[in-house]
Amino acid sequence: MSARQDIELFLDMMAAERGAAINTLEAYRRDLGDVDARLATRGIAMREAATSDLESVLSSLKTDGLSAATAARRLSAMKRFYRFLLSEGVRGDDPSTPLRGPKAGRRLPKVLTEADVDALFSAAADMPGPGGVRMRAMLEILYAGGLRVSELVSLPLVAFARAERCIFVRGKGDKERMVPLTSAALEAIAVYRDVRAAHLPADSAKAAKASTFLFPSRRASQGHMTRERFAQILQALAVAAGLDAATVSPHVMRHAFATHLLARGADLRSVQLLLGHADVSSTQIYTHVLDERLRALLETAHPLADKP
């Protein structure tokens, strides 16, 4: 059996037994495909690789200038893959067990200031036509609820069925959470509903599928706006707002939501629930962001900051 077939069987297991999301599976496919390619240049099959071979893979990542975070992700994929081969009886050992990856310092997420977010909303208000109305509604939901971009674009119409002031979001691991919305977000959604039909496909078969989503698409095969298209529109909006487009993304908006809530006194547990984090340690990164911002403020604004 080829390495590609082994990888696909591993991915099937991750989907069936671990409930891994599509994006997670694609990431594993890319990482393991890269490992396979690097081993192949040495004439080594993935099934037959020894610990020293996998060490060479990690060394080649460093030689190619890839980051410690990338190496850590490749190592994690290898460890899961070889544990799978061991559990299936394909191998009698796990060559990845002795491997230790480089320690990757945890980078603090990029965060927009409240003024930056205001500038984005002002730019969105100037967008013309049904597209502008749709973008304002999406931006309001994104910032009001801290949704992941995949959660936002795939919101079904029935997300609002049980409580008009809340939406029910299905996130990672197929877990559902309730997210309250602001009055501004609810108002923007109400206005958008009046023009929503403009984004439905003309083809009746495609329209039937797209009509189940809050943000349908005339072109996307999945029936709703794609993550890539939303990110593209958001980047153009950042330019219109006078912001550096490289610092603005859907996930940066999610970071802004969390950081601004904490800065205004929200407790960590509540923010964790709103974000849909399984572990509070994922949410704690935003407290570090606040610490860094406060430290920078102290160093630049305190009257004794420039004195030795």
* Active-site entry in 73, 134, 136, 148: 148
* Active-site entry in 47, 170, 193, 251: 251
Can you tell me which residue has the tokens 């939303």? 230
Q: Which helix (H) or strand (E) holds 170?
A: strand 166-170
Q: Please give the Cα distance from 84 to 189 (Å, whole number).
A: 46
Phi first, then psi, for residue 249 (nearest 5°) are: -155, 165
CB 272 within 8 A of CB 174: no
251 is known as an active-site residue = yes
165 is known as an active-site residue = no
Buried residues in 104-117 as b, exposed as e (16+ CB within 10 A): eeeeebebbeeebb
DSSP codes of every residue in 28-57? HHHHHHHHHHHHHTTT--GGG--HHHHHHH
Count CB neighbours of 207 within 10 A. Answer: 15
Q: Is the alpha carbon torsion for 115, 117, 121, 127 positive or negative?
A: positive
* Active-site entry in 224, 254, 255, 260: 254
192 is known as an active-site residue = no
Burial class (CB in 10 A: 0-12, 13-18, 19+), 50: exposed
| Alpha carbon 120 to chain centroid, angstroms | 20
Phi first, then psi, for residue 156 (nearest 5°) are: -85, 160
* Active-site entry in 91, 172, 193, 209: 172
28 is known as an active-site residue = no
State the catalytic residues: 148, 172, 251, 254, 277, 286
